Amino acid sequence: MCLMFTMPHLEDRADAQMRITPSKKSSAEIVCLVDDDPLVLRSTGLLLASEGFAVRQFDTGEDFIAYVASHDVPLVVLDIWMEEMTGLEVLARLCAMSPQTHVIVITGRDDNAARITAMQIGTVAFLIKPFDDEQFLEVVHRALGHPPGSSPR
């Protein structure tokens, strides 16, 4: 049984920490991006926004988990190696809180054990940074159930 819990003392912090990348349309699908590297947040966030997604960016797993406690998250792009709370810890908590959320794992280290663990938990993809933009966008569209070659624009 999955238990839903809230962390009201963290929700305000999460909303304050969350950066929203403007999207091309207000009804765009939401993609959350969790990475402790500001350059990855910026570049990947801009790539997703250019494709028409509404991007919610988080630089810590704790802030993202606080956000999930009060928001529906269709898709998260999650760095696996972060300080404080690792991506695998975030993934475990996310599965308990929001099992319907699709997860794409990104990492700067090709760690076979982490890959196997993430894939066993049920991630959509495990990508090594730097990844090919087109391949990444294809995985995002597939995770959201879009037909091949589609774009939300």
53-81 confidence digits (pLDDT tens): 999 999 999 999 999 999 999 999 999 98
Q: Which of 30, 39, 32, 86 is nearest to 61 (CA)?
A: 86
* pLDDT classification of 137: cutoffs 50, 70, 90: very high
What residues contact residue 100 under an 8 Å CB cut-off, 6+ apart?
A: 74
Q: Would you place residue 97 in the very low, low, confident or very high pLDDT band (cuts 50, 70, 90)?
A: very high
DSSP codes, 37-59: -HHHHHHHHHHHHHTT-EEEEES
For residues 73 and 98, the answer to whether their CB atoms sit within 8 Å is: yes
For the chain, what is the total number of helices (H) and then of strands (E)? 6, 6
Alpha carbons within 13 A on the beta-carbon side of 103: 28
Confidence label for 5 from pLDDT (cuts 50, 70 and 90): very low
In this predicted structure, what is the pLDDT of residue 11? 37
Q: Quick check: 5 and 98 in contact, CB under 8 A? A: no
Structure tokens at 85: 């709370």
Residue 24 clears pLDDT 60, i.e. is over it: no
For the entire predicted model, the pTM comes to: 0.78
Q: How many CB atoms lie within 10 A of CB 5?
A: 9
Q: What is the mean pLDDT of the chain?
A: 82
pLDDT digit string, tens, across residues 29-59: 999 999 999 999 999 999 999 999 999 999 9
- Mean pLDDT along residues 11-34: 57
